[in-house]
Chains A and B, each alone.
Chain A
Amino acid sequence: MLKFFLRRFIIAVCVAVTVSIIGFCLLRMSGDLAAVLAGENASPEDISRIAASYGLDRPYYIQYLDWVTSALRGDLGRSLFTNEPVSGLIMDRIGVTAGLAVASLLLALLIAVPLGVLAAVKANTWVDRSALVFSVAGQATPSFWLALLLILVFAVQLRWVPVSGSGTAAHFILPVITLAVSIMPSTMRITRAGMMEVLSSDYVRTARAKGLAPFKVLFKHALRNAILPVVSLAAVQLGLLLGGSVIVESIFALNGVGYLAFQSIVRVDFPVVQSILMFLACSYIILTLLSDLINAKLDPRVQLT
């Protein structure tokens, strides 16, 4: 177990370093940052002055090492735009994004897993076909369109929930639904596929030959085996949600990490962009580790090595 964690920690560090280097290089390659910061009508002298003041005239590896050493000390730099500390900017928004992501994932799992089980049990019946139609429709619906539609119906017409903002829990209802719909189809299909395979397995037949009640056969013997790929998928989806809900956060004016990333990219606020990138990389690393641990807990054959 200790060996497992040590190994995973070393891998995690390697991944983090790689991501940071690639991210750093990509940002620097996106153009002359000093020129962009100086504006369109700046003279070459202005540009070199700005480059010097931000340290952009130094060699890349010095800039990188400088950034890494201060990041390790907890100093992620300041926003070029607002001059606030980057760590503060991100911390202020993590709550919104994480809440949104976790709530969406939970809602999606709560609906998609039982629906997938049902579709597998009732394979090739109208129940299964309806579930398929539902998932294809869900997959084909763009989030921005669904978000606008939901706003139009439930916020503007029916006035059940507020249009946008992040003041109360009610503000989160529509965005959570929008995101949940986007990740439900794949979860549902994977659950169904897993259950289909497991339901035709010998050990499920054994469970039935033991005279166990149908719900026990289904939820004790079958689902625990079928859920393993769902766990891995859920981890990836949560990672996506933590970083990728830019559109939904923008439409609902939720002040989250995704929206901050979008704003910062537009403003060439590279310290913020670089930090958000690292935040996402670390989230993925932790989530993958978590899903491996859960799978090992669920299936004794999974070796933690």
Chain B
Amino acid sequence: MEHRKYDPADAPVLTVEGMNVDIAVPAGALHAVTDVSFSVRQRETLCLVGESGCGKTITSLALMRLLPRTAKLTARKINFEGHDLGRISERQMARLRGNRIGMIFQDPMTSLNPVYTIGDQLEEVYLRHRGGSRSAARKRAEYLLEKVGIINPGQRLGQFPHQLSGGLRQRMMIAMMLMCEPKIIIADEPTTALDVTVQVQILQLLRSLQDEFNMGMILITHNLGVVARMADQVAVMYAGRVVEQGSAEDVFRNPVHPYTRGLLDCMPKRGQVAANGRLGSIPGIVPSLVGQQRGCSFRNRCVLQRQACSEGQIDLRPASSGHLYRCILEPAATVLPTTLPVGSAA
């Protein structure tokens, strides 16, 4: 099915500006997310990419205001349908969750309550936000189960989560979050816990539902294959910061930040091979995010590191129109020495 592209002229449904999340730890403040900004239009998919611990899940939980109690969210602005998500009360936020903003979690095996039927858990969302009778909620649930590709909805609604497979449970989860037709759906690694064959089905399903219900989607993943398949916009995160963001095409075709270049080198690519004949990898580990952060957080793993990298604050700057990166080097100077065209290696 042809994907109806989003319209760049549409106003964003969700706009995030300068979002920070600090977590109180014994040693001080852990800057889990620093200065993250992005916007999502209807039918647009933004992929947050990065390795474990880069702050992508914290970002998504922050948008849902589901952060752990020790975490503190601050932002210049998080605008969603006229609400500032960083400032509205918990009570107002609860009215948006599951209603205007939905979230799908990584592990469908543990994300559904084992002691209630699927039907109960789906209807509950509808009853909470739309009210009305249980039979109306049940009708809506059956309708959505059909939408997510479940053959005999009536029977499935009476079952308990442990009676279903992982793929089915993730479909249930998706149906549950669509009960009230949210404008934004946040999917945190929705396919990571599933079989590879099921992964593709779930991604296709998300894409088609997104078109049908005109939703904006924030998709969190560490899988670049998923990004290539799904993303309109990409934000690459490293150590709590966005190091590069732009349209998927720009970021994939012309990566600028050394980290993005390194990540793409980790993927097998037709026509290219690394100098040593192996897939690329980025040596080193992610730095501690506790305390004051200075300079570039990627510098210790960066082959292009130089003196100036550890100084001051490095801001996002444009590489081309709508394509931002966070590095002191000019775009042409960030080419990594390891990647060579096939045949040129000795």
Contact between chains at B162 and A301 (CB < 8 Å): yes
CA A207 to CA B111, docked complex, whole Å: 9
Q: How far is the CA of A12 from the CA of B176 in the complex (A)?
A: 44
What is the chain B residue whose CB lies nearest that of A222? B113
Q: Are A203 and B113 in contact (CB under 8 A)?
A: yes
- A211 in the interface (beta carbon within 8 A): yes
Within 8 A of A (CB), among B112-159: 112-116, 124-125, 128-129
The answer on a CB contact under 8 Å between B105 and A225 is no
In the assembled complex, the Cα of A87 lies from the Cα of B97 at a distance in Å of 62
State whether A202 touches B115 (Cβ < 8 A).
no
Q: How many B residues, CB 8 Å from partner? A: 28
Contact of A298 among B103, B115, B177 (CB under 8 A): B115
Contacts of B64 in A (CB 8 A): 209
How many A-B contacts if CB must be within 8 Å?
Answer: 70
Give B72-101 as 1s and 0s: 1 = Cβ < 8 Å from A's Cβ atoms.
Answer: 000000000000000000000011111100
Query: Is the Cβ of B114 less than 8 Å from the Cβ of A300?
Result: yes
User: Would you call B223 an interface residue if the criterion is a C-beta within 8 Å of the partner chain's C-beta atoms?
Assistant: no
Asked whether B113 lies within 8 Å of A213 as measured between CB atoms, the reply is: no
Find chain B residues with CB under 8 A from A225 CB. Answer: 113-115
| Docked CA distance A208–B124 (Å) | 12
Task: Give every chain B residue within 8 A of A201 (Cβ-Cβ).
Answer: 110
Distance of A262 Cα from B66 Cα, bound (Å): 57
Interface centre among B94, B110, B115, B162 (most CB of A within 10 A): B115
Per the bound structure, the CA–CA distance linking A209 and B177 in Å amounts to 9
Q: How far is A211 from B98 in the complex, measured between Cα atoms in Å?
A: 5
| Chain A contacts for B102, CB-based, 8 A | 209
A209 to B173: give the CA distance in the assembly, Å.
11
Does A210 count as interface, using CB distance less than 8 angstroms?
A: yes
| B250 located at the interface, meaning its Cβ lies under 8 Å from any Cβ of chain A in the complex | no
Are the CB atoms of B110 and A208 closer together than 8 Å?
no
Q: Point out the residue from B96, B113, B115, B129 that lies within 8 Å of A206, measured CB to CB.
A: B113
Once bound together, how far apart are the Cα atoms of A97 and B97, in whole Å? 51
Q: Is A300 in contact with B160, judged by CB distance below 8 angstroms?
A: yes
**CB pair B114 A208 closer than 8 Å:** no
Cβ of A212 within 8 Å of any chain B Cβ, yes or no, is: yes
Give chain A's interface residue range (CB within 8 Å of chain B): 20 to 34
Q: Does B105 contact A205, Cβ atoms closer than 8 Å?
A: yes
Is B107 among interface residues, defined by CB-CB distance under 8 A?
yes
Interface centre among A206, A208, A213, A299 (most CB of B within 10 A): A206
**B124 touching A210, Cβ below 8 Å:** yes
B227–chain A nearest beta-carbon distance, Å: 23
Q: Which of A273-305 contact B (CB under 8 A)?
A: 298-301
Residues of B217-274 whose CB lies within 8 A of A: none
Chain A hits for B128, CB < 8 A = 210-213, 216
Q: Can you list, as one digit per residue, whether each of A190-212 has a CB less than 8 Å from chain B (1) or not (0)? A: 00000000000111011111111
Residues B162 and A208 in contact, CB atoms below 8 Å apart: no
A149 vs B162: C-alpha distance in the bound complex, in angstroms?
52
Residues of B with C-beta under 8 A to A214: 94
Inside 8 A of B105's CB, which chain A residues have their CB? 202, 205-206, 209
Tell yes or no: A189 within 8 A of B by CB.
Answer: no
Distance of B217 from chain A, by nearest CB (Å): 15
Taking CB atoms, residues of chain B closer than 8 Å to A300 are: 114-115, 160, 162
- Closest beta carbon of chain A to B68's beta carbon, Å: 9
Kindly list chain B residues whose C-beta atoms are within 8 Å of the C-beta of A207: 113
Residues of chain B within 8 A of A213, CB atoms compared: 94, 128
Partner of B111, one of A206, A224, A299, A301: A206
Q: Counting chain B CB atoms within 10 Å of each CB, which of A209, A213, A216, A221 scores highest?
A: A209
CA of A298 to CA of B160, assembled, Å: 12
Assess A203 versus B112: contact at CB under 8 Å? Given A209-B64, A213-B128. Answer: yes
Q: Contacts of B99 on A, CB cut-off 8 Å?
A: 211
In the bound assembly, the distance between CA atoms of A209 and B112 in angstroms comes to 12
Residue of B94, B114, B115 near A212 (CB, 8 A) is B94
Minimal Cβ-Cβ distance residue in B for A300: B160
Complex interface: chain A residues within 8 A of B173 (CB): 206
Closest residue of chain B to A221 (Cβ to Cβ) is: B113
Contacts of A301 in B (CB 8 A): 114-115, 160, 162
Query: Binary interface profile of A, 82-117, with partner B (CB < 8 Å = 1, else 0)?
Result: 000000000000000000000000000000000000
In order of increasing CB-CB distance, the 8 nearest A-B pairs are: A211-B97, A210-B98, A211-B98, A202-B110, A203-B113, A202-B111, A300-B160, A209-B103
List 15 interface pairs A-B (beta carbons < 8 Å), by A numbering. Answer: A201-B110, A203-B112, A206-B105, A209-B97, A209-B103, A210-B177, A211-B96, A211-B128, A211-B129, A212-B94, A212-B98, A213-B94, A221-B113, A300-B114, A301-B160
Q: Assuming A224-B115, A300-B114, what are 20 further A-B pairs, CB within 8 angstroms? A: A203-B110, A205-B111, A206-B112, A206-B113, A207-B113, A209-B97, A209-B103, A209-B177, A210-B124, A210-B128, A210-B177, A211-B94, A211-B95, A211-B125, A212-B124, A212-B128, A214-B94, A221-B116, A225-B113, A300-B160
